[in-house]
Amino acid sequence: MVRSPPRAGADVSNRGIGRGRLFLGGLILFAAVIAWGVALMMSPHSEATVARGTEHVRTTVVVFMRNSAIGTLVLSALAGWLLFPARRPIKPWRDRVIAAVLAILVGSSLYQLIWLRTAL
């Protein structure tokens, strides 16, 4: 028995690369959420930080938060690149959820960077 020759065009039989991209992108997105959450928990946005006399650590916290916001932006960009390949699966709700999470991370990180410029 002889098999018919393959069709001309791109070979789409190897879906492992796409699955690997989605796995790594999801892992990096999870790392970005963790970095964003840690920086959010350390945020000196409240007035209670001034009342407690913690001004001596304010610069250290601001530098940490700045670096965390930049790291979150880099991780979000990398995760977005990995999670949105050229060929898209037929699950638009997943894409919308990922886009919303990325938008929240990027938006709050940019806000944090702008706010930190005025804090010092």
Rounded to an integer, what distance in angstroms lies between the CA atom of residue 119 and that of residue 88? 42
Task: Quote the pLDDT of residue 4.
Answer: 75
Task: Quote the pLDDT of residue 118.
Answer: 80
Of all residues in the chain, what percent carry a pLDDT higher than 90?
28
Residues 86-116: tens digit of each pLDDT: 666 676 788 888 899 999 999 999 998 898 8
Residues 68-88: tens digit of each pLDDT: 999 999 999 999 988 887 666
Task: Quote the pLDDT of residue 92.
Answer: 78
Task: Quote the pLDDT of residue 27.
Answer: 93
Phi, psi of 62 (to 5 degrees): -65, -45
Rounded to an integer, what distance in angstroms lies between the CA atom of residue 29 and that of residue 43? 21
Helix residue ranges per DSSP H, the chain: 16-41, 48-51, 58-83, 92-119
Residue among 89, 38, 94 nearest 68 (CA): 38
Question: Over 70: is that where the pLDDT of 51 sits?
Answer: no
Degrees, nearest 5: CA angle 86-102-31: 100
Rounded to an integer, what distance in angstroms lies between the CA atom of residue 70 and that of residue 65? 9
Question: Over 70: is that where the pLDDT of 9 sits?
Answer: no
Task: For residues 9-25, give the mean pLDDT.
Answer: 75
